[in-house]
Structure 1
């Protein structure tokens, strides 16, 4: 054990989770209705190890929000009915809006730190729940910069880095070809814009006038010469998605 500890001095353990609570608990492997999303693997062991080793830290990464049936949902929760990593093992949380270092913090400071990396649309409700539970002082006012935690503001700040190639879709590399990466972006756009019946109707109507201008992508999806009605609609939708996500 002594050798293992020396080899892991100042270790950093990175894992991902689906949701986190403002009190520092993490949800990684299942939902509160009992559904299992994935095996927990060694995540708990790594987090536990980070608390036992000298200088070690645990980093849990997650998205601040998600789209569900066309509705935005926060992944920073007040509480949740399933826990993978308990709050007493809280350490570092990272998402698109920043880093929350909550190791050793009291509950109020932990709530404020997690609130600082939550999406602006959900901050007020989260802080109100904390105040109702007596975990956050009544006179708390969110710092002014919290209002910038929105997808639109984040996209605007990163746009220059996206355009000059500093921040590609896959910074660490990918097995996707350039053509496939364009298709992935287009399909992601189509998924978001057909999430509700109303959005689906609007997107299909827009697609009727779309003209394909990415022959490589259409060929990769075998939609260069669609025959059936379904294939023709798919080709139109893909052409629209490719046009909407073209990097200019």
Structure 2
């Protein structure tokens, strides 16, 4: 059914990822919004969307392509949306340091991080300001520990 719908349908265009993921192409959309997920974000704004507890879970995919496109767009935004803890609420997903050292999105490209506790605006902020913003959207059970990590950071 899908193929019949798509076949010769002028409203549907199939393009290679070299086009659909090209930051130069997507950056022309004035308000390009990229929404991606993460497994963890450290208090400096680095994003890990690939590994958890030493296991490779996800692929890089188009996350950096879309983040860069959003940063190029005149009014673009890049949003990382995630739960503040793991499923059983025993581990914060906002952490002092990325556990596996894998950085999918570097802190210089970070814009907004959203959890069920709020929004951390990171673009244009210092490391300390980013850390405070991220601590504020962490699960309350982990905030004191993250605040101590922030004090060591500065």
Q: What range describes the TM-score normalised by the shorter chain of this pair?
A: 0.7 to 0.9
Report which of the two has the higher share of helix.
1
Partner of 1:45: 65
Q: Is the contact between residue 74 and residue 119 of structure 1 (CA under 8 Å) also seen in structure 2?
A: yes
Counterpart position of 2:92: 74
Contact 1:115–1:126 (Cα < 8 Å) also in 2:
yes
Structure 2 Cα separation of the partners of residues 126 and 105 of structure 1: 18
Is the 2:31–2:75 Cα contact (8 Å) retained in structure 1? yes
Residue of structure 2 equivalent to 1:16? 37
Aligned pairs for 1:117-196 (under 5 A) are 117-133=137-153, 135=154
Q: In structure 2, how many angstroms separate the alpha carbons of the residues matched to 1:82 and 1:40?
A: 11
Distance 1:5 1:40, change over 3 A: closer
Preserved contact between residue 32 and residue 82 of structure 1 (Cα < 8 Å): no
What is the match of residue 74 of structure 2?
54
Alignment CA distance shift 1:72-1:31 (3 Å): closer
2: CA distance between counterparts of 1:120 and 1:22?
A: 15
Matched, 1:91 2:111: yes
Q: In 2, Cα distance between the equivalents of 1:8 and 1:114?
A: 28
Query: Secondary structure of 1:93's partner?
Result: strand
| Change in 2 beyond 3 A, CA 1:124/1:43 | same
Q: Distance in 2 between matches of 1:38 and 1:93?
A: 19
Unaligned runs of 5+ in 2: 1-21
| Counterpart-to-counterpart distance in 2, 1:48 and 1:131 | 30
Q: Alpha carbons of 1:7 and 1:67: their partners in 2 closer, same or farther (altered >3 Å)?
A: closer
Which one of the candidate residues 39, 48, 52 is aligned to 1:31? 52
RMSD: 2.1
Superposed structure 1 runs of 4+ greater than 3 Å apart:
3-7
Decide whether the 8 Å contact of 1:76 with 1:114 is kept in 2. yes
